[in-house]
């Protein structure tokens, strides 16, 4: 009988870790990885693979870990996943591969993500770092955005022999991995390593290029590109449209996290970009981004950091692990609480968040019970920083500068769910640009599916262009 | 799309190997506090339209700041930046010399200015704000619009780009706050004198420090003349991702980097814009003091 409990992940102590940006989850040691890998049942018909958006051959790589063939394990993962050190850290495995694991019927599922991270980190330390580079066919594909979707798509296309160039608008590649997810969850050295791998596969990355402004998609075609994949990611942050949202001290989560992660404002004045630290920080929302934002607030020195969320704990979109991490770090949770106004002083600085209590009513379209306000329950949470973590709408630059590339009313690009084909022949799209705020791995899955379909299209196997609804 | 005969995308692919990318070709002191730089960047030069800006970064630990493109030469692959040393990054930029390269320049960003095809437009620039007026005045002049320009500054020695503005204006008025040259008063006062004197204009473009733009808007409003202003809020990415640059226009939150930077000045919430522009005043002082003490370690 396998051990029912999975091998615990060594964690930095909550009291200490809120004072630094070092990794919270410190990664399995070899002994831990071997113990965990030994739990795998090696199912004849493994269900876990079908739960993985990029179809990693999980039983095979776990077996290789168990046999101490770590290079074999990472090679197996990299056959389908270009960013394993990232996925091993930030994927919501509990709702994807691990939820399908047979072991979860009698105990805890195998810790796929932790083993994936172990294999990737092993390679970073011990691997030869040699990458087989497919010789180029000379056929050119452009990828817009060097985030998870774009890096995955570009890596796969390079493996197939296409001549791929990624155009990135920021000064550093990585997209949300570099500007959004904090160092304590995903060290930027890890991101740089993964980006370097995609480069070694043969993808060229050009930063400081805003496709739609510096060059248009039609110009890319005129200049010899045969296909374009759009993975432009999150766009404008959403706000609540309540009074006081433009007071000094109100941030979008995108701005808050970009200042800290990309620009290193937590190290101001060593780095030139500042950020307000705040004594009491209120973060509105309860997704992974909200958890990242509130935990950054603590690490910047806030005495109190709060999550304000209009539904209850059960409806929170954040990964359970991130929620638990935040709870361990003494984040204060104000659930069934909805902001109605940001309060400020006579100089225009935030002094508090006026909220109303909510109760759960009938289920709404999303199936979650709709929160309704409790009359007369208005109250004020005192704070000096408010961070709105309510999601984003896709960036409007491409849809407004590319004739034929159609978007939904809310801004998301229209794209076929299985292939990523857009309304413009020769243009694919995937990731947050299509779905709105979602996860790294879903974006990677979309990038992967698009790469496969781009190959089908360019090789002439599936040349007809059926438009998505 | 070709730049000097080579396909744009082909050149973009070689961008990172181009050692002369973002090289400062010319550096000029326009006034004791204002500098002009001609910078090599074929991609921005090929695409930029009047009203658009770039985001730049001067060093690895540096911040991203927006600067309006004051001029461009599509044949020479260059853009012209004009700036006043007000914060850390502009000070560091000001210390750079011809032959140096700016670490990152990305653009063109923002929506091109909606310029009229005909009629008369009053272009009012204050201080360094004359620089972003230049490409708009040039373009309108080329289209056959009658351009009446006002160039204002605190004193005579701070008037910039006069020759260039004269070359694309039908009439030019000079104003100085101290009366050392031309009209004694603010740009807005000159606008008032002209309008009250019966000058008929279809639109006004007013660019300069925020109080100056606001003052011009206050003058033009009773005349019902559409007045465009160029907002210059704090930005981080500048590409429509972070939302730092929000400006209230007509009661709605707009994002300056993707909806602007040109807005109807009569609709702008100036008080909020001014307040938001000063969010990091304390930090700016810390950074500037630090820069002064280390001599700007680039």
pLDDT digits (tens, 9 = 90+) for A226-260: 999 999 998 889 999 999 999 999 999 999 999 99
Confidence of residue B5 (pLDDT cuts 50, 70, 90): very low
Helices marked H in B61-110? 88-95
pLDDT, mean of residues B64-79: 95
Question: Is the per-residue pLDDT at B4 higher than 60?
Answer: no
Question: Is the per-residue pLDDT at B7 higher than 80?
Answer: no
pLDDT, mean of residues A165-186: 96
Residue A137, classed as helix, strand or coil, is: coil
Query: How far, in Å, CA of A310 to CA of A359, rounded?
Result: 8
Question: Number of C-alpha atoms within 13 angstroms, CB side, residue B156?
Answer: 6
Burial string for A151-189 (b: 16+ CB within 10 Å, else e) reads bbbbbbbbbbbbbbbbbbbbbbbbbbbbbbbbbbbbbbe
pLDDT, mean of residues A14-40: 95
Cβ neighbour number for residue A410 with a 10 Å cutoff: 9
What residues of chain A, 222 to 251, have a C-beta less than 8 Å from chain B? 222-225, 233-237, 239, 241, 245-246, 248-249, 251
A206 in contact with B at a CB cutoff of 8 Å? Answer: yes
pLDDT at site A2 = 64
Burial tier of A354 (Cβ tally within 10 Å: 0-12, 13-18, 19+): middle
> What pLDDT, in 10s, does the model give residues A408-417?
988 899 999 9
A261 in contact with B at a CB cutoff of 8 Å? Answer: no
For residue A169, what are the CA distances in angstroms to A258, A286, A397, B106, B108? Answer: 14, 28, 11, 7, 11
What letter does residue A100 receive in the DSSP assignment? G
Which among B7, B63, B241 has CB closest to A263? Answer: B63
Choice between B289 and A55, residue whose per-residue pLDDT is larger? A55
Helix (H) or strand (E) holding A280: strand A280-284
Which among A204, A223, A234 has CB closest to B7? Answer: A223
Confidence of residue B80 (pLDDT cuts 50, 70, 90): very high
Contact A215 B43 (CB under 8 A): yes
Contact A264 B61 (CB under 8 A): yes
Contact B47 A213 (CB under 8 A): yes
Which among B8, B57, B240 has CB closest to A235? Answer: B240
Confidence of residue B294 (pLDDT cuts 50, 70, 90): low
Which of A171, A178, A227 is the mutation pick for testing B, counting most B CBs within 10 A?
Answer: A171
Tokens 């420090």 found at: B209
What are φ and ψ of residue A236, in 5° steps? -65, 135
Confidence of residue A132 (pLDDT cuts 50, 70, 90): confident
pLDDT at site A133 = 86
Query: How far, in Å, CA of B129 to CA of B83, rounded?
Result: 9
Confidence of residue A420 (pLDDT cuts 50, 70, 90): very high
> What pLDDT, in 10s, does the model give residues A94-124?
889 999 999 988 899 999 999 999 999 999 9
Contact A236 B104 (CB under 8 A): no
The 8 Å CB, 24+ separation contacts for B266-272 are: B266/B217, B266/B220, B266/B221, B266/B226, B266/B227, B268/B214, B268/B217, B268/B229, B268/B231, B270/B210, B270/B213, B270/B214, B270/B217, B272/A246, B272/A348, B272/B247, B272/B248
For chain B, the average pLDDT equals: 92
Which among B44, B241, B275 has CB closest to A348? Answer: B275
Cβ pair A288, A312 in contact under 8 A: no
Cβ pair A219, A228 in contact under 8 A: no
What is this model's ipTM?
Answer: 0.92
How far apart are the two ends of chain A, measured CA to CA in Å? 50
For A64, left (φ over 0), alpha (ψ -120 to 50), or beta?
alpha
Question: Is the per-residue pLDDT at B2 higher than 50?
Answer: no
**A126-140, A311-325, A432-446: range with lowest mean pLDDT:** A126-140
pLDDT, mean of residues A416-444: 92
Question: Is the per-residue pLDDT at A138 higher than 90?
Answer: no
Contact A219 B8 (CB under 8 A): yes
The dihedral built from the CA positions of residue A427, A433, A434 and A438, taken in this order, carries a sign that is positive
pLDDT at site A367 = 81
A204 in contact with B at a CB cutoff of 8 Å? Answer: yes
pLDDT at site A364 = 84
What residues of chain A, 130 to 149, have a C-beta less than 8 Å from chain B? 142
Question: Is the per-residue pLDDT at B269 higher than 80?
Answer: yes
pLDDT at site B298 = 43
Considering only CB atoms, which chain A residues are within 8 Å of B15? 206, 208-209
Question: Is the per-residue pLDDT at A140 higher than 60?
Answer: yes
Chain B: closest CA distance from residue A274 (Å): 7
pLDDT, mean of residues A282-308: 97
Question: Is the per-residue pLDDT at A267 higher than 60?
Answer: yes
Helix axes A288-299, A320-328, angle to 10 degrees: 20
Which one, of A429, A433, A436, A431, lies nearest residue A453 by Cα? A429
pLDDT, mean of residues A330-349: 97
Predicted model pTM: 0.93
Helix (H) or strand (E) holding B294: helix B281-294
Contact A259 B236 (CB under 8 A): yes
């Amino acid at each position: 009988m396998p051990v029912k409990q999975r091998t615990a992940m060594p964690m930095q102590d909550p009291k200490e870790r809120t004072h630094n940006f070092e990794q919270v989850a410190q990664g399995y040691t070899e002994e831990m990885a071997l113990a965990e890998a030994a739990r795998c049942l090696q199912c004849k018909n493994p269900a876990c693979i079908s739960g993985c958006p990029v179809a990693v051959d999980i039983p095979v790589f776990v077996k290789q870990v168990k046999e101490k063939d770590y290079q074999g394990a990472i090679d197996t993962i990299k056959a389908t996943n270009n960013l394993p050190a990232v996925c091993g850290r930030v994927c919501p495995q509990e709702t994807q591969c691990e939820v399908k694991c047979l072991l979860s019927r009698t105990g805890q599922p195998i810790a796929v993500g932790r083993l994936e991270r172990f294999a990737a980190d092993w390679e970073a330390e011990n691997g030869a770092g040699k990458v087989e580079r497919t010789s180029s066919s000379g056929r050119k594909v452009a990828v817009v955005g060097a985030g998870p979707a774009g890096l995955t798509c570009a890596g796969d296309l390079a493996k197939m022999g296409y001549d791929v160039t990624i155009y990135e608008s920021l000064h550093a590649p990585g997209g949300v991995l570099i500007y959004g997810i904090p160092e304590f969850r995903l060290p930027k050295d890890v991101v740089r390593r993964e980006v370097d791998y995609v480069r070694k596969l043969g993808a060229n990355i050009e930063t400081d290029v805003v496709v739609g402004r510096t060059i248009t998609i039609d110009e890319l075609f005129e200049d010899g590109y045969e296909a374009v994949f759009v993975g432009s990611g999150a766009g404008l942050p959403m706000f609540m449209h309540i009074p006081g949202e433009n007071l000094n001290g109100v941030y979008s989560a995108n701005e808050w996290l970009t200042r800290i992660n990309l620009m290193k404002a937590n190290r101001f004045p060593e780095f030139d970009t500042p950020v307000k630290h705040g004594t009491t920080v209120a973060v509105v929302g309860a997704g992974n981004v909200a958890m990242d934002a509130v935990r950054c607030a603590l690490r910047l020195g806030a005495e109190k950091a709060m999550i304000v969320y209009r539904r209850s704990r059960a409806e929170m979109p954040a990964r359970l692990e991130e929620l638990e991490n935040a709870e361990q770090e003494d984040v204060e949770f104000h659930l069934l609480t909805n902001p109605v106004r940001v309060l400020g002083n006579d100089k225009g600085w935030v002094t508090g968040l006026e909220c109303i209590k909510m109760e759960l009513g009938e289920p709404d379209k999303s199936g979650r019970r709709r929160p309704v306000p409790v009359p007369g329950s208005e109250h004020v949470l005192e704070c000096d920083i408010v961070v709105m973590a309510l999601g984003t709408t896709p960036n409007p630059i491409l849809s407004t500068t590319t004739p034929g590339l159609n978007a939904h009313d809310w801004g998301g690009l229209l794209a076929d769910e299985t292939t990523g084909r857009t309304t413009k022949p020769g243009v694919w799209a995937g990731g947050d640009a299509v779905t709105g705020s979602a996860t790294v791995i879903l974006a990677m899955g979309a990038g992967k599916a698009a790469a496969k379909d781009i190959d089908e299209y360019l090789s002439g196997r599936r040349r007809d262009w059926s438009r998505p609804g | 799309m070709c730049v000097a005969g080579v396909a744009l995308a082909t050149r973009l692919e070689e961008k990172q190997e181009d050692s002369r990318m973002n090289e400062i070709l010319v550096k000029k002191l326009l006034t004791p506090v204002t500098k002009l730089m001609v910078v090599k960047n074929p991609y921005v030069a090929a695409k930029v339209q009047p009203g658009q800006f770039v985001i730049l970064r001067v060093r690895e630990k540096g911040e991203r700041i927006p600067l309006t493109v004051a001029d461009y030469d599509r044949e020479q692959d260059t853009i012209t930046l004009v700036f006043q040393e007000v914060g850390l990054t502009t000070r560091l930029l000001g210390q750079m010399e011809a032959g140096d390269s700016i670490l990152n320049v990305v653009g063109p960003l923002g929506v091109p200015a909606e310029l009229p095809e005909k009629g008369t437009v009053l272009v009012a620039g204050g201080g360094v704000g004359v620089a972003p007026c230049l490409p708009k005045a040039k373009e309108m002049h080329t289209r056959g619009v009658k351009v009446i320009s006002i160039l204002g500054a605190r004193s005579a020695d701070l008037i910039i780009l006069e020759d260039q503005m004269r070359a694309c204006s039908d009439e030019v008025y000079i104003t100085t706050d101290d009366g050392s040259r031309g009209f004694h008063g603010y740009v807005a006062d000159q606008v008032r004198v002209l309008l009250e004197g019966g000058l008929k204009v279809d639109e006004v473009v007013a660019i300069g420090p925020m109080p100056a733009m606001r003052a011009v808007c206050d003058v033009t409003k009773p005349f019902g003349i559409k007045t465009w202003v160029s907002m210059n809020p704090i930005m981080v990415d500048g590409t429509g991702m972070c939302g730092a640059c929000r400006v209230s226009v007509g009661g709605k939150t707009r994002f300056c980097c993707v909806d602007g930077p040109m807005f109807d000045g009569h609709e702008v919430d100036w008080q909020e814009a001014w307040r938001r522009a000063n969010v990091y005043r304390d930090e700016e002082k810390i950074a500037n003091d630090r820069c002064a003490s280390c001599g700007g370690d680039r």
